[in-house]
Homo-oligomer: A and B are copies of this chain.
């Protein structure tokens, strides 16, 4: 019922094998040598992007972009996980989104970054200069449409989260979050009825994502465990014992 509150992902499986600590410039051939586009829109855009991007590694905790800095680059996650953060003057924090492989970020900020992005696990991101990125959009109408589609998906996800924050209870938010997390892991074809995931973020991050406090998040998870809806063998390892119950909670059937 709920759509996934994470940034939409593209479907190109260009799995980078770059290791942490290594840097690789993907801009190899000059533009006049690139092949004439023949494949599907997404493939062509992906190829164009690869030409102008640079893969960068970030260790857990590292700062990728900082709110207020000049928005010179656009990024795409290849590996790992990051968080996109907005801060208030008095220290209150809100996590706009968790960024996972194939998610873009920095796209919507045309002059200055409106949020800080930090790695919550060792990560690899591909960096594109905004100039070359805009050049791509200028030349290729398909690229524009492609990114329009991506940003529209993000907008739709953001609006789902507005409803979540504006009108749902703490327990409903938690259930929605867990379901979104597990649905994002559709690739892991585990047998139904015994699905499990490893959360890449800590309680504090979950709290700041759901607009709650760490204590409430902890209590809600304990509550779900006591109801045998989930299990928590370790802090970040969640086993889904009763997915339907979560969906009921999500739908408002306490």
A residues adjacent to B (C-beta < 8 A): 86, 88-90, 92-94, 96, 107-110, 114-115, 134, 137-141, 143-145, 147-149, 151-156, 158-163, 165-168, 208, 210-211, 251-252
Contact of A139 among B90, B141, B160, B210 (CB under 8 A): B141
Which B residues lie within 8 Å of A144 (CB)?
Answer: 137, 141, 143-145, 148
**What's the nearest-Cβ distance from chain B to residue A209, in Å?**
8
| Closest beta carbon of chain B to A194's beta carbon, Å | 28
Report how far A114 CA is from B86 CA in the complex, Å.
Answer: 26
Q: Which residue of B lies closest to A91 (CB)?
A: B252
Q: Given A137-B141, A152-B151, decide whether A252 and B159 contact each other with a Cβ distance below 8 A.
A: no
Report which of B89, B158, B251 forms a contact with A159, defined as CB distance below 8 A: B158
Q: List 26 A-B contacts (CB under 8 A).
A: A86-B162, A88-B252, A90-B252, A92-B167, A92-B252, A93-B167, A94-B162, A94-B163, A94-B166, A96-B163, A108-B153, A108-B155, A108-B156, A109-B152, A114-B156, A114-B159, A115-B159, A134-B145, A138-B141, A140-B141, A141-B144, A144-B148, A148-B148, A155-B155, A167-B208, A167-B211
- Closest B residue to A139 by beta carbon equals B141
Asked if A107 contacts B152 (CB within 8 A), the reply is yes
Stoichiometry, copies per complex: 2
* Min C-beta distance of A110 to chain B, whole Å: 7
* Nearest opposing residue in chain B for A146, CB measure: B144
Chain B residues with Cβ under 8 A from A165's Cβ?
Answer: 162, 165-166, 211
Using Cβ atoms and an 8 Å threshold, which residues of chain B touch A92? 167-168, 252
Report yes or no: A161 in contact with B162, Cβ–Cβ below 8 A: yes
* Contacting pair B137 A148 (CB below 8 A): yes
Q: Are A149 and B96 in contact (CB under 8 A)?
A: no
| Closest residue of B by beta carbon distance from A148 | B148
A88 to B251, CA, bound (A): 8
In the complex, what distance in Å separates the CA atom of A108 from the CA atom of B8? Answer: 13
CA distance A206 to B114 in the complex (A): 26
Chain B, residue nearest A152 (CB): B108
For A114, list chain B residues within 8 Å (CB): 156, 159
Q: What are the 6 closest A-B residue pairs judged by CB atoms, nearest first?
A: A144-B144, A166-B211, A165-B165, A108-B152, A158-B158, A141-B141
